[in-house]
Each structure stands twice: as C-alpha cells, then as structure tokens.
Structure 1
Amino acid sequence: MTVHPSDLGPEDLGALADWRRALHRRPELSGAEAETAAAVARMLAAQGPDRIWTGLGGHGVAATWAGAAPGPAILVRAELDALPIAEESSAPHVSEFSGRAHLCGHDGHMAILAGLARRLGRVRPARGRAILLFQPAEETGAGAAAVLADPRFAEIAPDMAVALHNLPGLPRGAVRVAPGPACCASRGMRIRLRGREAHASSPETGLSPAPALSRLLQELPALCAGAGPADPGFRMVTLTHARMGAPAFGISPGRAELFATLRTRDDEEMDALVEEARALAEAAAAGHGLILDVGWEDVFAACVNAREPARALARGAAAAGLSVSDDGLPMRFSEDFGRFGAAAPGALLLLGAGADQPPLHDAGYDFPDALIAEGVALFSEVLDDLLGRADGG
C-alpha cells in the first residue's frame, strides 16, 4: 500500500482506539442507540463532510464527502448496536451496563469508519461521493430495512455498498470475500400452543400441550438438510428456547412456547422452509386440539455479494497487503447488510480478528484495536480505487 500524507499515523490510531473503548464502555441495544449515534454524529462533524443525516431508520447516521468530478457514490457501512449479553472481562474499558456489551465488534467497525472519516476530512475523493453509514439495529435484522425505508435514504442514493465484519478464529488481517452467497438467511420462529390447565391429580380434565411440544422438539430439527451452506439446499433448524406451564407440581400445563431459528443459504429456500415448519406446527396443534399462534422475529435476508463490489473489496484488501481467499464461504451466520442489495450492488467481506480470539457473542470477546488500522487501510484502498483522490495521490 502506498503511504500518503493523509493516511493515519500512530496518534490517529491511538485516538481511534480510545474512541472505540469509550463506545465499548457504554453499549446500547438494537433500536436504543441514541447516545452512540450522538457520539458518531459529533465525530463526523469534526471531519468536515458535505452533509450529515441523523435519525435514519431510527438512530442511523450517515455523512458524505463529494469530489469535484462526476462519479459513483460508494457507501461504506458499520453498525451501532451491542448485544444483550453480560460481559466477562477485566479490561479497563469493560461495559458499564449490566447485561449488555459490544461482543460482536460493532464498536471496532465504527472505529474503522471513524478512521475513514479522518482520512476523507484530509483529502476528498477526486470524483463521485464517499458515504459513511452507521446503521442501527443490525443484531435484530430490523435496522437495514428501516434505513432503506426512510424517505431520506433516496438523498443518499448509493451506486455501490460495501461492509466488513470481523471474524475471530481467522488469522488477524486475513480476508474472506467472493461474489455470490456470503451469509445465510435466518429468522426466528415463535410457536405458542394453548390448551387448558388442570389439577395435576386430574390431568384428563384439562388439555396439555406436552405431547404437541414433544412432537415439535423432534420434528423441527428433522427439517435440517445439507452438509453446510456451500450446499444450495442447506437447511438448519436450531431449537433455542422451550417452556411449558407454571413452575409448580400441582398444575397440569395449559400453555407452551417454543423458539427455533431457521437458517438457509438463500431466500427462496427460506420461503420453503418457513412453510414446512409452519405446517408441522399446525399439524401438531390440530392433532392435539390446541390453539396455535406462530410469529416471526429477527428476520435476516441472505447476504449475496454482487460481482463488482466483491472484486473491488478483494482488490482493496490485496492493495492493503492483506491475504484474500474465498475459503469457508458462505458463512452460516446472518448479517443484516444483505438487505442493502435491494438499493445498490453490495458486498460484505470478513476480516480475521485473530486465531486465538474468543468467538463472536462470547462473554469474553473484545475487538482487537490493532485491527482498526487494517480495516481503514482496506477501505481506503477501495475508495481510492473507485473514486480517486483529490490530491492526485
């Protein structure tokens, strides 16, 4: 990678690490990222963008820097939200809030875009527009759709969208990106069964959901298919929660609830899996005379990388001196970024956070500050490639 006067030095990187740690101390959950969004808006304002949008799809924030010549509008996205998990860490920047923490690295993703903002504040693109978007509510799968539905997103109007997600277990700085499927579609299925309570000594006078619940606990996982998401017919059903009745010995239960996460490689297969899972629930309820309610939450579309943005990310990673491959793609987890494909060709890359790091969503996970420099370098090369530099570098 060529070094330019506008590129970040040790003082910049130290300030970005400090900023990340400040975000880490005060995590906010999906849809409640007001304080985080305000910190992002203040940071962006200091870098002289042409315009800042706030309140996009909830607490989303975006900023743009335009070049003098016509050209494409390139959007780079990070996420604002944290997780409802208690952090287990002795770090001085541990979460100040009980039961919530940045255990997915969104604080690090924000710091990378803050580094890009510093760079854009020093030298603008030669042509087109660079757009930095900080998206709310990624963890619930609701944020991207809300941002896209915001009428002001038409003013942002990207021609291409790119993003990264850090990946523990992968060597630090290793990149995984390719055209095609990148992350699976998924959604949460909530099944509620209602019968009638009875005295535990006379269960025959009530209507217990136990047989139907037992049946579904076996039948839903049996819908799994395929060895992994590289298989176009891949399906995965994970039981995540079940409960029945009151925690008492004298009552035969009248209600039950079951949560399951459905996962497929593409949206079409998800549609089919949804119908089959619903049919199993309907048959189990009807077979035992129960009232059924099925709901869907945390709905993620499949993330499918378009060819040109995927190639641009691969070129940028290589120019930044990072190793690039498509090993392990697509991933089983889901990413809300996939919905941006409805607005512009998009691509997501995975950036290794270190082979010995705790996994994402682990209580001991903490984004490695050293990865900020590599993320900034990678996206800087992408923007220079697609938009040029106003200083001719």
Structure 2
Amino acid sequence: MFEAREIKNLTKFRKELHAHPELSGEEKETSKRVLAFLEKCKPSHIISSIGGYGVVAVFDSGIKGPNVLFRGDMDALPIEEINDFDYRSKTKGVSHKCGHDGHTTMLLGLAKLLSKNPPKEGKALVLFQPAEEIGAGAAAVLRDENFISLKPDWVFGLHNLPGYPLHEVVVKEDSFTASVTSIVIDFHGKTTHAAEPENGINPAMAVSELVLQASLWSNNLPERDDFAVVTPIHIELGSKAYGTSPGEATVGFTIRTWTETEMKKLQEKMEVYLVALAKKYRLKLKYKYTEDFKANDNNAEAVENITTAAKNLKFKVTERKSPFKWGEDFGLFTQQYKGAFFGIGAGEDCPALHNPEYDFPDELIPTGSKMFYELCKNYLACP
C-alpha cells in the first residue's frame, strides 16, 4: 500500500513537525507545511484557515455518495522537551508530547493514498484541526462557514495510546472519552488588617468548604454510570503579606463525567452549592467554564466498521469496558455527526501522553493511514 520511499518521507515530515512545535491557536508554520505537502497529493481542492489555522483537503469523486471526514490534530503542548535526539524541539518550553505531530502525518499518509486511489463515490474530507489541547479547535472549525458547507455524513478520528501493544486498535461504543470541563470560581469579599479580621470578609472558609465538598462530589469509580471526578487544580488566596486578611480568592477545578447528561446534572448541583456558599459567607460570586471537551459519543455502526477495518488489516482489536478519563475535543464532532473515535496502541513501554520523555512512535504512521483508508474503502468505494 505504501512504498518504502513514501514511509521514509512521511517519517521525515513527522520529525520536522516535532522539531518545530506550535501551541494551540499558533499553528501557522505547521499549517504551511501541511499545505505544501497536500499540494503534491492533488486533492480536488484545499480549504485553508478553517477555525484558525485549520486545513481541509477534499477528495471529491464527483459522484453522489457520503461525505466522510477524517480528522487529525496539529497543536503541541507547553512542555519542555527533555529528549536529546537530533529532531528534538527547537522551541523552548514547547513540544509534541501528545503525538499530534504523528496524527497530522497519519492524515498526510491518508492523503497520499487517496491521491493514488481516489474515492469512486462521495467525498473524503481530510481535516487538520488546530487548538485541540485547549478544547477550542473543534468548536472553531464547526462554526466556520467554509466547514459547514462541507456537510459531513460520517466523522472519524483517532489517538495513539501508550500502554497498549503497538498497532493494537482500541474501540468502544457510546462514550469513548469523558466529558471534561474546567470551572474557575472567583470569590469577592473585603480586604482588611489581619489584626482586625472582623472588619473584612475573608473567603478562606468558603474555599476550605468548597475543596472538601469537591471530594464528596467525586466517586472515581469507572464502572458506574454516574462516574465523576472533581479535581482541585489551583487556589489563589491573598499573598505573603502577613498583616493583611485577604478579600479575594480564585479556585479552579476540572470536572469529568462519562456523559453530557451526567455533566449537566453535576454542574447544576455545583452551581446551586456555590450560590449558597457565597451567601453563607457574604461573598460576591463569579464563575466561568473553560477548556470544554464533550464526550466522544461513538456510533455503533461506525465502531463496527472500524473493527472490520482493523481485522482486514490484521490488527488486533480490543474493546474498552469503560471510557478513557481524559478529554478529547473531537467529541464535539461526534455530538453533531455520526462517527467514532478510536485508539491505536503506541507500545506498552511508551512513556505516557504529556510526559516530557514521550515521543510518537513512527511505526504507527502507516498504521493510522491504512486504518483511515480502509474506512474510505468501506464508505467511498476506494479501490
């Protein structure tokens, strides 16, 4: 399916991306590199600047059929590279520690395969998405008029999975990844002299009660449908001014549930509690949600087709019993379109995602490309 020369070129491209990582929303040069590669694949047309620096390559058969979208992410993380190989990150404090350099390259591999064997019906939409890590990229793409006009019928995405055997395909119907959001809570009281706390309103007690309550909202039991994890992330209260009783505090949490229904129930419970807590301690309250990741809601038919594709390619398939706890903003696509998100094992000894020692295993490039192309064969009658 791939010539040795093509795999060599894809691997070289992946390492180039790794050496030049860009943070969420800043993927300008990454986008340029993707565009330059895609032009050689001669898609029917290319749309750039979707949802920021996003790119879509359209392979159009010209014959009526489904529009099938394949998505990969492009952004890196604010993590310092500690590996010492020759393609290590050249950008201080930024590196590809989630494998998005590999995901991008897998999609380019798919584009290469489609350039040789294009769809016989329908369209293949190859989407390179920005800003996944902050939960903003999918939403920006879905709002973009240029994307809306593409009208996908099916959507597919994947992620490499350290801890699973290399090339093993991991599937699950319904929720594949958790619904995740973060909440930032501001309490406004009244600052005063530390010797006269009665003249001020110190939010310390409210913060203490809130952190304790968060532990009671959590059950961290993956086997339960009402699984929930509320994790304290940061607390800001006063400063090292020991003569001052602070009047302001900020508390941040991440919230995780298996489904959007459970997420809504937990958010409503938290909001009622916050209003009562602020009233109890005479505090003004503000809160906002940020970095929102919808649960990946996998369609049963799409999962079946992924499983069939993997078996056709002789890859082992494992079905998860419970979703992954991390967030993935491809979930917003599966909330709106039929499709599925799946995983490919990155090796049992591969460092974990977001670990400073992590590096995407290049052996997976053809694996991901072939999996996507096998789905094209199913939906788009590719040869």
Is TM (by shorter chain) over 0.5? yes
Q: Tell me if 1:114 matches 2:117.
A: no
Tell me how far apart the structure 2 counterparts of residues 265 and 180 of structure 1 sit (CA, whole Å).
Answer: 10
- Please show how residues 1-393 of structure 1 align to structure 2 within 5 Å: 7-67=1-61, 69-225=63-219, 227-228=221-222, 230-389=223-382, 393=383
In the alignment, the residues of structure 2 paired with residue 338 and residue 144 of structure 1 have an alpha-carbon distance, to the nearest angstrom, of 8
Q: Is the 8 A contact 1:158 1:343 kept in 2?
A: no
Instruction: Quote how far apart the aligned CAs of 1:19 are.
Output: 0.7
Question: What code does the residue aligned with 2:73 have?
Answer: E
Distance in structure 1 (CA, Å) of the matches to 2:93 and 2:288: 26
In 2: Cα distance, 1:238 partner to 1:226 partner: 10
**1:220, 1:280 within 8 Å by CA — same for their partners in 2?**
no
Instruction: Give CA deviations for 1:225-266 in whole Å, capped at 9, x if unaligned.
Output: 3611x4211111111111211233222211111110011111
- 1-side partners of 2:337 and 2:206: how far apart? 45
C-alpha contact (below 8 Å) 1:176/1:329 kept by paired residues: no
Report the equivalent of 1:3: none
Distance (whole Å) between structure 2 residues aligned to residue 249 and residue 87 of structure 1: 39
Q: What do residues 76-117 of structure 1 show as CA deviations (whole Å, max 9, x unaligned)?
A: 000111112222211222211222211111110001001111
Amino acid at match of 1:330: P
Task: Classify 1:180/1:342 alpha carbon distance in 2 versus 1 (closer, same or farther; 3 Å).
Answer: closer
Give the secondary structure class of the aligned counterpart of 1:152: helix
Out of 260-269 and 96-105, give the one that drifted further: 96-105
TM-score of the pair, normalised by structure 2: 0.96
* TM-score, with structure 1 as normaliser: 0.94
Q: For structure 1, which segment, 246-255 or 167-176, has the greater mean C-alpha deviation from structure 2 after superposition?
A: 246-255
**2:297–2:335 contact (8 Å) kept in structure 1:** no
**Cα distance in 2 for residues equivalent to 1:87 and 1:274:** 36
1:12 match: secondary structure:
helix
Look up the equivalent residue of 2:245 and give its one-letter code. S
CA contact (8 A) 1:176 1:326 kept: yes
Deviation at 1:68, TM superposition (A): 5.1
Partner Cα distance (1:216, 1:69) in 2: 58
Q: Deviations over 1:204-228 (max 9, x none)?
A: 3222111111111100121013611
| Shift, 1:328, TM fit | 4.2
Which runs of 5 or more structure 1 residues have no equivalent in the other structure?
A: 1-6
Within 2, Cα distance between the matches of 1:199 and 1:100? 42
Post-superposition offset of 1:375? 1.1
- Please tell me whether the aligned partners of residues 74 and 128 of structure 2 are also in contact (alpha carbons under 8 angstroms): yes
AA aligned opposite 2:60: A
Distance in 2, Cα, partners of 1:226 & 1:342:
24
Deviates more, 1:277-286 or 1:331-340: 277-286
**Paired residue total:** 383
Is the alpha carbon distance of 1:290 and 1:343 closer, same or farther for their aligned partners in structure 2, counting shifts above 3 Å?
A: closer
Moved more, 194-203 or 74-83: 194-203
Decide which moves more: 87-96 or 331-340. Answer: 87-96
Structure 1 distance, partners of 2:253, 2:356, is 22
Q: Which aligned runs of 4 or more in structure 1 are off by greater than 3 angstroms?
A: none
Aligned partner of residue 336 in structure 1, secondary structure: coil
SS in 1 for 2:30: helix
Identity %: 37
Aligned-pair Cα RMSD in Å: 1.4
C-alpha separation in 1, matches of 2:192 and 2:80? 38
Please say if residues 172 and 320 of structure 2, whose CA atoms lie closer than 8 Å, have aligned partners that are also in contact: no
* Contact kept in structure 1, 2:70 and 2:156, CA below 8 Å: yes
- For the 8 Å contact 2:176–2:298, the answer to whether it is kept is yes
Q: Would the aligned equivalents of 2:186 and 2:248 in 1 still touch at CA under 8 Å? A: yes
> Where does structure 2 lack aligned partners over 5 or more consecutive residues?
none
Residue type of the alignment partner of 1:261: T
In structure 2, what is the Cα distance between the partners aligned to 1:311 and 1:101?
35
Report how far residue 342 of structure 1 moved: 4.3
